[in-house]
A and B are shown apart, each in its own frame.
Chain A
């Protein structure tokens, strides 16, 4: 049912954990539906590129695809400028995972929303 890539990221997720004193956090999902995701950001400024994601971590309570999409979005976002990171779509996440079962597409949505919310949180606090 799941692609090899999903199982890979699910069983050995990347960037799992929390960042102390994060510059931005996003919490998305809903305990009633069962998936909850928290994205932590650490932002740095680069003279040439401007603000970029120096570090990103996640904590997720959810199904295999929720964990895999969390892991994947942190991989996709790490090192990107904020402008670049905002453009990461749910399709980017799903494609990078070699597809998701139709019923699980909302999980990739969740990951993209989580990242965006964390960036917005940073921008609001600035």
Chain B
């Protein structure tokens, strides 16, 4: 008998059967290109527009504010680079018309964003197109809204903070940041579309707030007005939808340029033939979330059960990230005297799938930037284990996993013996 237990729902989720059923006709039977004018195309286009409406209803916005992309990575790249690009080209236009070209635009983000946000920012810095401030979270993995406020400068054009951290599951104060941005912007009575010639740049372009909501969609209210965001990224495969499709919400009137050139799809903001079955899947997955509301409580109680049991039954372990401001599906632990990749593979050998922030498992051999951002020393980051549950997780699966985990931790600690203590003795 071999068991298979999936505890890595933050990495990806299985496609819900209902979602898959909705998608299937759009591969072979209704295969039209949504940009074609004929009946095949129109059939596809109608399906796309239905999904757009489903997404818009979920986010509390208009259909025209939803841009379909290939996933959250693309959405985040489009949001960040697209805003900077639009700003720079407006700068140039103004420059040509004989007025002073203002400073380099400034972005405020956090040091524990997903790599696609951080790398998009770093590439803008490298190309000298923007300057970026990276705010560290507090020890509990939560950003202080006041720290974001303090980082705002005259040339700030964009703030990007994730809703829920993907590794430690901590919930960020987006609403609070939204209020700060709104308040800041209101001091200039901005006409975003027709800036006044004599205003400094920062006054002509209000600060935009972007959030990467990838890990929040399943469990949190993502109404864009309540959050106070201008841009929001999401991905379908984290919400029981298919891989390779996502969306970016772009508030009406937001200055954003497309970063991928080609056809005029997606209101000219994202070129490329639409992934019709994927988009249909995204719409169905988003629509399904409201039917799952009652399950959130179950997920929370399973997570609390898991955290309590592990902290009680396994010695020398701690929970990373706030216990309270935490996504219902996430638990992240650090085990002393255990290395995460070993732990992951031992669990895998027992049929249990989880994740780690260990450097050895990263491909880059660099420790988790998320754990480092909490102020953890590099040597403390290796023994981390991320357990993320979902709507199909059962208590029995958690019980089996914990009993295997206990055995594996004991085994790995036997293998490591006193080597850590001996190392420090030797190098004292």
Contact = CB atoms under 8 A, between A and B. Distances in A.
Given A10-B342, A64-B345, A33 B416 contact: no
Chain B CB within 10 A, most for which of A17, A37, A63: A63
A103 interface: yes
B188 to A, nearest CB: 47
Nearest to A37: B419
Interface of B is mostly: helix
Contacts of B422: 27, 38, 59
B311 interface: no
Interface residues of B, number: 28
Interface in B393-428: 414-420, 422-423, 426
A50 interface: no
Interface residues of A, number: 29
Contact of A35 (B339, B345, B349, B426): B339
Chain B CB within 10 A, most for which of A37, A38, A59, A64: A64
A63 B361 contact: yes
B381 to A, nearest CB: 8
B6 to A, nearest CB: 19
A2 B360 CA distance: 13
A37 B342 CA distance: 14
A47 interface: no
Contacts of A64: 341-342, 345, 360
Interface of A: 2, 7, 10-11, 13, 16-18, 27, 29, 31-38, 59-67, 103-104
Interface of B: 337-339, 341-342, 345-346, 349, 358-361, 363, 365, 367, 378-379, 382, 414-420, 422-423, 426
7 contacts: A17-B417, A33-B378, A34-B358, A34-B359, A37-B419, A38-B417, A60-B416
